[in-house]
Amino acid sequence: MNKNNNKRPHYLNPYFGGVLLGLLVIATFYITGRGLGASGAVKSTVVETVETLAPQHAESSPYYSKYIPKDTSPMNNWLVFESFGVLLGGLLSGVIYGRVKKFRVEHGAHTTSAKRLVFAVLGGVLFGFGSQFGRGCTSGAALVGSASFSFGGVIVLISIFGTGYAVAYFFRKLWI
Amino acid sequence: MNRNYLFLTLLMLVLAIGTFFIKKDDVYKNQIKPETLLQVITQPSRYVTTDQVAKRIIEKDPTLELIDVRLPGDFDKFTLPDAINVPLKDIFTDKGQDNLGIEDLNVVFFSNDDIIADQAWVIATRLGYKNMYVMKGGLNCWIETIINPTMPPETASEIEFEQFRFRKAASLYFTGGSTTQPVSVTKAKVKVRRKKKEKAASGGC
Amino acid sequence: MPLLIFSENCGFNSTFKILTMGPLIPNDIITGDWNFVIAILIGIAFGFILEASGFSSSRNLAGVFYGYNFVVLRVFFTAVIVAMVGLLYFDYFGWLDLSKIFILPTFLSPMILGGVIMGVGFVMGGFCPGTSFTGIAIGKTDALFFAIGLFLGIFIFGEAYPYFANFYNSGNMGNVTLTDVTGIAAPWFALGFTVIALAAFWVTAEIEKKVRKNMKEYKF
């Protein structure tokens, strides 16, 4: 990707990062009794948007209505605040390690930025859609679910990564 | 680098294997389900009569364990022979439960009536202890039937007279009266009903 | 035998009472007003760890499927086994009441389908929701587009929901754990995951070396 030589980005040792993440999961359970997540915040954003733009539709919808609390905004929700924290934490790390730069697209050597962006959106659409069936994403369902010995968590974990490996071949040009 | 990773690998394995050996000090492991408790509570089979208790005491039944669930003050004043004092509130402690889980021992709770004893029974049964019983009528009934039995009326059945004879003899036994008649319990034909049959214990007050 | 030793030594559990028993908020040891402050702090820690491990880069993330970068496997799997083993120890020391924590409910068929769709989305998009947030934070346009896609995907789901509401709610097994379903005790799973993870770490280290040798243009 960048052939002009930026020095190699400095990353934490992945096992160390994993230990930290594992400890964070335990700490989150210890403090809140639940795990962390991410897709839930996007869902709250969707519900909030639909509710703002078309309240009747939101309230009569069998799906959105479940997530509209009576006296407050759908965004007034633990996961939304936590995800905002994720943004901040990512920014903090990016600043410390010098990775915050102007907007750029990452892609494999054999593809273009444009193609990559198209697939990014499509991938996001699929992922968002699937995350509702899965009751979570890799963070909330797979990681936290498995860590807490939830059967569903392990199912989601295996399904995501198993499928990823199964279809990787078809998208290889995006990456390598 | 490799050496460190090797060490970490082993450490993680040891910790994971360690999870097999950590068990909680779990007295509550054998708790029975609420539905089971509800079912068992409605069976009258937990009650034993004062006659049955008296017989066991006289026969020196080694499987009998009497537990007086009243306060120590009452226990000191009067209690059944060889009874242990475990006040109701102590049933919740480890020490109080020391006497409960012993194999083959039949525990009979008693109090002045049987209300407190019943409560003890519920707690112990919920915790999963088996062979718990309650003496129906408690010490009040004990006094009325065993210590001061009343002569049944003329019209009473032979069984009731037999029961009275037994009780009279038992009364002498327990109050240390002189025995002009040999206390011969083997003649008493009062049948001791086995607890396995779910019938209410008869006799008592 | 260990059970006997520990239960006779009455003081054993109390000597480990370094932490008050959790979970703290459900037990009212911390009031609910702190909830959102704690949420942000936990999020910051999460985002930091993700970004610092390189999860803000879609190429790094996708690498697990092609063998040129196993960072996802390493971080993720390590986190799972550390958390599994850690939760069991926390329960033992009386720091966390495992019966009070939230266990993700299992909806068998929908979750499998959801996982499959997410798997495709992951390879196509190169992100998952949490990592896309960190990507946005450092200026990755593809992360931003992925997040927009997430929004659209959930919206489409919400609109189309009536068509598959029945399926969505099917297969509800409740908040079951692995132990509930298989009857095998938790330590076996902790050990099993640990052994598989550790083996995978060693094997993939070799695979990665080989794959990278063949990828001349592999750069961060």
> pLDDT tens across C91-105, in order?
988 889 888 899 999
Average pLDDT value for residue range C1-16: 39
- The amino acid that residue B186 corresponds to is T
Q: How confident is the model at residue B195 (pLDDT cuts 50, 70, 90)?
A: very low
Average pLDDT value for residue range A157-168: 96
Q: What is the pLDDT of residue B202?
A: 57
Q: What is the pLDDT of residue B151?
A: 86
Angstrom distance (rounded) from CA B174 to CA B142:
11
Whether residue B179 is contained in a domain is answered as: yes
Q: What is the pLDDT of residue C173?
A: 92
Q: What is the pLDDT of residue C215?
A: 77
Condensed to tens digits (0 to 9), the pLDDT of residues C48-71 reads 999 999 999 999 999 999 999 999
Whether residue C15 is contained in a domain is answered as: no
Condensed to tens digits (0 to 9), the pLDDT of residues A6-56 reads 567 899 999 999 999 999 999 999 999 999 999 999 999 999 999 999 999
Q: What is the pLDDT of residue B204?
A: 59
Q: What is the pLDDT of residue C39?
A: 94
Which CATH number belongs to the domain containing residue B139 in this structure?
3.40.250.10
In angstroms, what CA-CA distances link C199 with A162, B6, C77?
18, 12, 11
Sheet arrangement for strand B84-85:
B47-48, B132-135, B106-110, B64-68, B84-85
Across the interface, whether the CB atoms of C104 and A50 are under 8 A apart is answered no
Q: What is the pLDDT of residue C48?
A: 97
Q: What is the pLDDT of residue B45?
A: 85
Q: What is the pLDDT of residue A14?
A: 95
Minimal CA separation from C190 to chain B, in Å: 6
CA neighbor of B133 nearest in space, from B193, B71, B72, B74: B193
Across the interface, whether the CB atoms of A130 and C113 are under 8 A apart is answered yes
In the stretch 33-52 of chain C, residues with CB closer than 8 A to chain A read: 35-36, 38-52
Number of domains in chain B: 1
The two three-digit tokens of residue C160, written as one number: 């189309």
Angstrom distance (rounded) from CA B142 to CA B135:
9
Q: What is the pLDDT of residue A13?
A: 94
Q: Which domain holds residue C40?
A: 21-214
Q: What is the pLDDT of residue B182?
A: 47
Q: How many CB atoms lie within 10 A of CB B35?
A: 8
Q: Which residues does C contribute to its contact with B (CB < 8 Å)? A: 2-3, 6-7, 10, 12-13, 81, 85, 88-89, 91-92, 94, 186-187, 190-191, 194-195, 198, 201-202
Condensed to tens digits (0 to 9), the pLDDT of residues A139-159 reads 999 999 999 999 999 999 999
Across the interface, whether the CB atoms of A128 and C217 are under 8 A apart is answered no
Q: What is the pLDDT of residue B28?
A: 56
Mean pLDDT of chain B: 81
Q: How many CB atoms lie within 10 A of CB B85?
A: 16
Across the interface, whether the CB atoms of C111 and A141 are under 8 A apart is answered yes
Angstrom distance (rounded) from CA A143 to CA C8:
38
Q: How confident is the model at residue C143 (pLDDT cuts 50, 70, 90)?
A: very high
The two three-digit tokens of residue B44, written as one number: 């009258």
Kindly tell me if the per-residue pLDDT of B11 is higher than 50: yes
Higher pLDDT among residues B136 and A110, named by residue:
B136
Quick check: A82 and C40 in contact, CB under 8 A? Answer: yes
Average pLDDT value for residue range C188-211: 94
Angstrom distance (rounded) from CA A140 to CA A92:
22
Kindly tell me if the per-residue pLDDT of B187 is higher than 50: no
Across the interface, whether the CB atoms of B25 and C12 are under 8 A apart is answered yes
In the stretch 74-113 of chain A, residues with CB closer than 8 A to chain C read: 78-79, 81-94, 96-97, 99-109, 113
Q: Phi-psi bin for C174: left (phi > 0), alpha (psi -120 to 50), beta?
A: left
Which of the residue ranges B71-85, C3-17, C138-152 would you say has the lowest mean pLDDT? C3-17
Kindly tell me if the per-residue pLDDT of B201 is higher than 70: no
First and final CA of chain C: distance in angstroms?
54
Whether residue B7 is contained in a domain is answered as: no
Q: For A158, how many CA atoms within 13 A lie in the half-sphere containing its CB?
A: 9
Q: What is the pLDDT of residue B90?
A: 86
Kindly tell me if the per-residue pLDDT of A127 is higher than 90: yes
Tell me, what DSSP letter sits at residue A64? G
Average pLDDT value for residue range B88-105: 82
Q: Which domain holds residue B73?
A: 29-147+152-183
Q: What is the pLDDT of residue B29?
A: 58
Q: How confident is the model at residue B177 (pLDDT cuts 50, 70, 90)?
A: low
Whether residue B126 is contained in a domain is answered as: yes
Angstrom distance (rounded) from CA A154 to CA A148:
10
Q: What is the pLDDT of residue C87?
A: 95
Average pLDDT value for residue range B83-109: 85
Kindly tell me if the per-residue pLDDT of B27 is higher than 80: no
Number of domains in chain C: 1
Nearest to B23 among C2, C81, C194 (CB): C2
B24 in C contact zone (CB under 8 Å): yes
Whether residue B36 is contained in a domain is answered as: yes
Mean pLDDT of chain C: 88
Q: What is the pLDDT of residue C6?
A: 36
Higher pLDDT among residues A20 and C19, named by residue:
A20
- Using a pLDDT cut of 70, give the percent of chain C over it: 90
B to C CB pairs, distance under 8 Å = 49
Q: What are phi and psi of B133, to 5 degrees?
A: -135, 165
Which of the residue ranges B47-56, B132-141, C25-34, C166-175 would you say has the lowest mean pLDDT? C25-34
Q: What is the pLDDT of residue A47?
A: 94
Kindly tell me if the per-residue pLDDT of C190 is higher than 70: yes
